[in-house]
Structure 1
């Protein structure tokens, strides 16, 4: 049985690794060489695709747009979600449960259902073709997920700690800032990684709200390498590798916080 499980895991790992390795080696090929030998190794490892991509001023603009939108979206979402989660944990009555249920229902609504009314709202506010518009939409859309995760963790914190702080004269803001947030750092780190991946890879909302090149994000810009009759796959895969690098780096450095955040609150002391 152990051999069977090991074999199945090995097959699963190969199914994931082989496409990634193939994409990585394709970034060192020219378009002609890629079509001549799709799965083979490149004849010579050339960095022309990377140099051309980084030398492009438009691509650097797209990259910075993704960085700005992602950082501010994650920051605002975590800030508002942590405030809401703290408030919900302090309201252990039907009203607090009802508010939490509304946020939970917000997770069940597909993005495509809100596409038309959301576009009308953003357009009426004059936020189309702006980074601010993307940040506001991203924050609003991912807020229910962040509230759901953080509320589940904060409910595991001992209420006696909050009550003792209140008896010592601490305000709600002081308890939130000095007790709730420091104790919730593992969960905040895990949620931030989750939100970072969602915002960084988001294509739907930039495709819906952005038409000007100077405001395009990286996932939207990668569509430029896909033509009507032919696609420049080496350049497209090079862009995919570059777009994936920040997520890999973030996970490597925050892995222990991510694991701690996913397991925090699962067992009560």
Structure 2
């Protein structure tokens, strides 16, 4: 009974803000302030028309897609290579390698932002999508290694031994055995990375000054002014920004669940 009550309260904490945001995107500013928590009595799509016809917003969506489309595959490739090494190396080298990347999860990103900023400034990578892609890869690589290594460690060694008997080296074993078998875990990791890169605000806020290179979360700040905030447009932007993630999870939910549970029990 207590468990259901706690879960019910938690569900309300999640659902109520979603309803307010979705309903607010269909209201005018006057209607929103008159009844912020109520359902729209005179729903309008004017906010969506304004947002979707904004050429600047379409540009920042393209920037976000570029960052995600490059960062995620590279992070998956590097993460899977490190995870394969962690699974195949002898005991102590494997623990040392995994510990180095686990340390990346223990250090808060805010603690290393100033050194990163200075380094990227010296390299000429600040205020560029290339620099933003590189910092995203560096920051999220430990997450990918942590997830993928947990799965690859559960793969039976007989698979690799059989491949070695057939003359396959480490590179061939990685591409022909580890990658195909790890597809559910790779899919789950990809979803995590897409969400992290798509919703990232901190690094674009720190590294990007050029309006033409902003990403979507950074562009949403334009709806918030010093004296006035266009909440209906802001809510509409949030809905538009969240929709790709919702659709991706809806279509990849099976792979996500399979990837999360794949390494839970050793086969």
Same fold (TM over 0.5): yes
Q: Is 1:239–2:237 an aligned residue pair?
A: yes
1:88-143 deviations in Å (ceiling 9; x for gaps): 21112322211111111111111111111100111111111211111111001111
For residues 233 and 148 of structure 2, the distance between their equivalents in structure 1, rounded to whole angstroms, comes to 39
Indicate which of 162, 166, 180 corresponds to 2:164.
166
Residue ranges of structure 2 left out of the alignment (5+ in a row):
none
Indicate which of 191, 202, 205 corresponds to 2:203.
205
For residues 135 and 9 of structure 2, the distance between their equivalents in structure 1, rounded to whole angstroms, comes to 40
1:221-263 deviations in Å (ceiling 9; x for gaps): 0011111112110000000001111111111111011111111
Q: Report the equivalent of 1:138.
A: 136
What is the CA-CA distance between 1:32 and the residue it aligns to? Answer: 2.2
For residues 186 and 225 of structure 2, the distance between their equivalents in structure 1, rounded to whole angstroms, comes to 41
Q: Is 1:261–2:259 an aligned residue pair?
A: yes
For residues 165 and 82 of structure 1, the distance between their equivalents in structure 2, rounded to whole angstroms, comes to 19
For residues 56 and 158 of structure 1, the distance between their equivalents in structure 2, rounded to whole angstroms, comes to 53
For residues 55 and 196 of structure 1, the distance between their equivalents in structure 2, rounded to whole angstroms, comes to 25
Q: Report the equivalent of 1:148.
A: 146
Q: Report the equivalent of 1:61.
A: 59
How is 1:1-12 mapped onto 2 (pairs within 5 angstroms)?
1=1, 4-12=2-10
Indicate which of 13, 21, 24 corresponds to 2:22.
24
The 3-state SS of whatever aligns with 2:98 is: helix
Deviates more, 1:16-25 or 1:175-184: 16-25
How is 1:67-106 mapped onto 2 (pairs within 5 angstroms)?
67-106=65-104
Indicate which of 227, 230, 234 corresponds to 1:229.
227
For residues 33 and 265 of structure 2, the distance between their equivalents in structure 1, rounded to whole angstroms, comes to 54
Change (3 A) 1:170 1:56: same
For residues 151 and 15 of structure 1, the distance between their equivalents in structure 2, rounded to whole angstroms, comes to 34
For residues 187 and 181 of structure 1, the distance between their equivalents in structure 2, rounded to whole angstroms, comes to 10
How is 1:46-57 mapped onto 2 (pairs within 5 angstroms)?
46-57=44-55
RMSD, matched Cα:
1.2
1:1-57 deviations in Å (ceiling 9; x for gaps): 4xx443443333223212211111111111122122222332321111000001110
How many residue pairs were aligned?
Answer: 267
For residues 196 and 167 of structure 1, the distance between their equivalents in structure 2, rounded to whole angstroms, comes to 38
Residue ranges of structure 1 left out of the alignment (5+ in a row):
none
1:177-225 deviations in Å (ceiling 9; x for gaps): 1110000001001111111111111001000100111100000000111
For residues 143 and 41 of structure 1, the distance between their equivalents in structure 2, rounded to whole angstroms, comes to 42
